[in-house]
Amino acid sequence: VQLQASGGGLVQPGGSLRLSCVGSGVNLEDYALGWFRQAPGKVRQGVACISRDGEATFYRDSVKGRFTISRDDAKNTVYLQMNYLNAQDTAVYYCAADSSTQALRVGVQDGAILNYDGWGQGTQVTVSS
């Protein structure tokens, strides 16, 4: 599963960004999708995931109410809308795809990141004034 993430950048605290992740050579509607991030010197952590049908979404506690994950299967794309960004959100953000929503959920909410079917290459998000 090949994924291409984009949309990162430099944003001031309190600002917003929208990340996108497009599937290449794969039909993303067959997969649950998620976003993960890794800050310098820290382990990768889950951020959010969405089920194959888009009906279920899951978030890590620190982003609830600020981040929204969504998918547009017609565009073969998953999004992460990030609002009220703060310095602790600074990281490289990765998208991931897996056949199991539960597998992504445990990565996002329980910290058990598994060997998912596919990962994007990462996009840098820097929150700084």
Q: Which amino acid is at 83?
A: N
Q: Tokens 């969504």 identify what position?
A: 70
Using CA atoms, how far apart are residues 119 and 88, in angstroms rounded to an integer? Answer: 22
On whether the CB atoms of residues 48 and 104 are closer than 8 A, the answer is no
Beta bridge partners of 91: 125
β strands within 40-122, DSSP E: 45-50, 57-59, 67-72, 77-82, 91-98, 118-119
Q: Can you give the pLDDT of all 129 residues of the chain as single tens digits? A: 899 999 999 999 999 999 999 999 899 999 999 999 999 999 999 999 999 999 999 999 999 999 999 999 999 999 999 999 999 999 999 999 999 999 999 999 998 988 999 999 999 999 999
H helices of 7-127, in order, are 101-109
Give the pLDDT score at 63: 98
